[in-house]
Amino acid sequence: MRRAVCPGSYDPPTNGHLDILERTSGLFDEVVVAVLINKSKQGLFTVDERMEMLREISAPLGNVRVDSWHGLLVHYCQQHGIQAIVKGLRAIGDFDYELQMAQMNQQLTGVETLFMPTKPPNSFLSSSLIKEVATFGGDVSHLLPEPVHKRLIQRLGRGD
């Protein structure tokens, strides 16, 4: 079975994240969305809430499951028999950072990293930017899956 993991904080999941998941699910038998737990960061949504949103938006894909992990991602891959890490890249800055991580991961355990460029309409999306724009009343509905947008608006206390 060909397995891949798509790691991230997903706070919240965006249309860019969903695009990478959809495309990855067509290439692998099983895709694990790993919500990485960073205890030094306070997210807008809890890990459980992010996992719930990811399960909802990825349900139609059929071969995607959602999990969480604290620690080195390559250890998660080893424990779960995952051969590849798939990372979406928006711009050259992403590549600089992700290349170093991919090389370290490969050196540590032999797990390969595959880079998937985002589609142009998603190339500027980041969860942080979406949260900032939404906090100040900007319309981000076209940048998020509908269930995620509803939760974001509720969390921010807006009744849009």
Catalytic residues: 17, 41, 90, 127
Q: 135 is written with which tokens?
A: 């906090």
Q: Kindly compute the dihedral angle of the four CA atoms of residues 45, 48, 49, 55, in this order, to the nearest 10 degrees.
A: 140
Helix 127-135 vs helix 146-155: crossing angle, to nearest 10:
50
For 70-106, the DSSP string reads -S-HHHHHHHHT--EEEEEE-SHHHHHHHHHHHHHHH
Backbone angles phi, psi at 111, to 5 degrees: -70, 130
Instruction: Give the number of C-alpha atoms closer than 13 A to the C-alpha of residue 109, restricted to the C-beta side.
Output: 19
